[in-house]
Structure formats: structure tokens, C-alpha cells
Amino acid sequence: MPAPNVLVVATSHDQMGSTGHRTGVWLEELAAPYYALLDGGAQVTLVSIKGDATPWDPRSLPAEAGAGPGAWADVGRGQ
């Protein structure tokens, strides 16, 4: 049986209204199913609504949270 193809569409929204506060995808909420799908043999394509880079909520990034670079560096970077 061929590997299933999964398309994950993420937000392109990177700011909360006109407040200047950065926002985006919460890393773990995307990374957990992304890696579960990969581990299950799926071909996963991640795209954003606008077709550009997926914005990450800075509070969800390990480096910004003080935990180092993290293991999910490849998620949303052309995978």
C-alpha cells in the first residue's frame, strides 16, 4: 500500500490585530501530529494560507522559552 499523503494547512497570521504582539502556530500543537504522521509512514506537506513561511508563536519556541534550539527545527521549513 502506498504511503498516504497528508496536507497540513497552517495559519499565516503572525500578529494579534494591530497590537504589535507576535503570534502564530503553537509549535507543539503542530509538531506532535506532524511527527506522528511521519512515524506512521505518511508523506506530510505543510503549507501556510498565504504560501509563505509558517509563523510560529514566539512563546512556543524552545529557544525563546529558554530551552535551547529544540528537536522540531525542521517542522515548517519546507517539509
**DSSP assigned state of 49:** T
Query: Which residues partner with 8 through β-bridges?
Result: 46
Looking at residue 23, its pLDDT comes to: 93
| Range list of H helices, the chain | 27-39
Comparison of pLDDT for 59 and 70, the residue scoring more: 59
Q: Identify the pLDDT of residue 57.
A: 93
The full set of domain ranges for the chain reads: 5-60
pTM for this model (two decimals): 0.70
55-65: buried (b, 16+ CB within 10 Å) or exposed (e) per residue?
bbbeebbeeee
Q: Looking at the predicted structure, is the pLDDT value of residue 75 above 60?
A: no
pLDDT tens-digit readout, 25-65? 999 999 999 999 999 999 999 999 999 999 999 999 877 55
